[in-house]
């Protein structure tokens, strides 16, 4: 027989124990669908950031949220192929998975392309994380989608994730004819860490003469400023309120489900460095904090579309980056999804606003590719 937790009305098995309850500072603001998913799949298990990296790495399945339970149904596309791309900093190889749509167009006609960089705090994640999204975007735009598996910390700390991703983008452009990509219709984007990479690459592409102009940057719950996540996470609301940061959501969403500030600390230490000086230097690098770019590097950037969760410590820095872009005349749109938490984009199988997000991104890409009017 199931019992009911009177706090949230979610039925639990008798052997289920709540390990991670919703924090009272944010619980009332959370969408009921998000709450139901959280209580079913996360409340009874530890997150990766609640153990050491070594403990997590020894039994990853125990600590990784089961995205497959809440992702959208399998979306078939025309074909999927894997490519190996050489990288040089340090030397090695990374994988790029390419999705092709089924279209009635001539096989010789070049298609627009969307280049995706997955999330995971620069420490976790891989090609399968965004597979459902990539498939939907490929089919529904339609376009070629390239999904990039950059190397991860702690083995490959900053700036390897960026240099790998840049190498992948350069490779795609250099192979555009062979891959059937229209170089005048390339968009880039990603979720969380992937959004940071996309924002930084958009800046680099603008300054690189041989790189064709990008048509859109899709920034989903992005990291835009790594400078204000502390080396030690606040333990209570008083410590959160005392944080030295221009971003109010660090304080108000410090204990957000799925991505509390504690989790950001766990990600940023292996990514940016464990000693204070190295950490601060790397965090100030525009490749880790795109918002630190001077105005001159933001003028003329590809248009941006930002999609942000309300209950997310990263919300305020996304809003700040949007304001930086619009202040210099770069086109930018932002949408904040009420009641949502950081990974809501990957919960679109059970979450109405996750489905809404996918439609929003699809529409933005179709407009950028000239396939639909605004």
Catalytic residues: 192, 312, 342
User: Per residue in 294-321, is it b (16+ CB within 10 Å) or e — as a string?
Assistant: eeebbeebbbbbbbbbbbbbbbbbbbeb
Tell me the two tokens of residue 67: 């995205």
Map 133-178 to HEC letters: HHHHHHHHCCCEEEEEECCCCCCCCCCHHHHHHHHHHHHHHHCHHH
Alpha helices, H only, the chain: 32-41, 53-58, 60-63, 131-140, 160-174, 176-179, 193-206, 237-241, 248-252, 261-272, 276-284, 295-298, 315-327, 352-368
Which value, in Å, is the radius of gyration of the alpha carbons in the chain?
A: 20
Q: How many residues does the structure list for the chain?
A: 374
């Amino acid at each position: 027989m199931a019992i009911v937790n009177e706090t949230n009305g979610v039925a639990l098995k008798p052997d289920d124990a709540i390990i991670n309850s919703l924090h009272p500072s944010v619980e009332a603001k959370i969408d009921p669908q998000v709450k139901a998913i959280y209580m079913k799949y996360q409340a009874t298990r530890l997150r990766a950031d609640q153990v050491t990296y070594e403990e997590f790495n020894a039994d990853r399945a125990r600590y990784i949220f089961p995205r497959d339970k809440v992702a959208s149904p399998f979306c078939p596309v025309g074909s999927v192929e894997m490519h190996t791309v050489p990288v040089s900093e340090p030397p090695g190889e990374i994988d790029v998975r390419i999705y092709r749509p089924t279209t009635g167009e001539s096989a010789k006609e070049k298609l627009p392309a969307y280049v995706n960089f997955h999330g995971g705090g620069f420490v976790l994640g891989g090609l399968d994380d965004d597979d459902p999204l990539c498939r939907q975007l490929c089919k529904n735009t339609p376009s070629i989608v390239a999904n990039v598996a950059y190397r991860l910390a702690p083995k490959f700390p900053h700036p390897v994730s960026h240099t790998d991703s840049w190498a992948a983008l350069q490779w795609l452009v250099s192979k555009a004819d062979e891959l059937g990509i229209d170089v005048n219709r390339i968009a880039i984007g990603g979720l969380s860490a992937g959004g940071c990479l996309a924002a930084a690459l958009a800046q680099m592409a603008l300054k690189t003469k041989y790189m064709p102009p990008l048509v859109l940057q899709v920034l989903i719950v992005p990291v835009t400023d790594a400078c204000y996540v502390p080396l030690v996470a606040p333990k209570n609301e008083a410590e959160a309120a005392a944080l030295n940061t221009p971003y109010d959501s660090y304080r108000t969403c410090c204990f957000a489900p799925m991505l509390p500030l504690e989790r950001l600390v766990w990600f940023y230490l292996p990514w940016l460095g464990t000693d204070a000086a190295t950490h601060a230097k790397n965090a100030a690098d525009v490749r880790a904090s795109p918002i630190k770019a001077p105005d001159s590097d933001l003028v003329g950037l590809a248009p941006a579309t930002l999609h942000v969760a309300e209950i997310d410590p990263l919300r305020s820095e996304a809003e700040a980056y949007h304001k930086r872009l619009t202040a210099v005349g770069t086109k930018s749109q932002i949408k904040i999804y009420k009641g949502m938490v950081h990974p809501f984009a990957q919960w679109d199988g059970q979450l109405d606003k996750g489905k809404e997000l996918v439609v929003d991104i699809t529409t933005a890409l179709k407009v950028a590719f000239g396939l639909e009017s605004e």
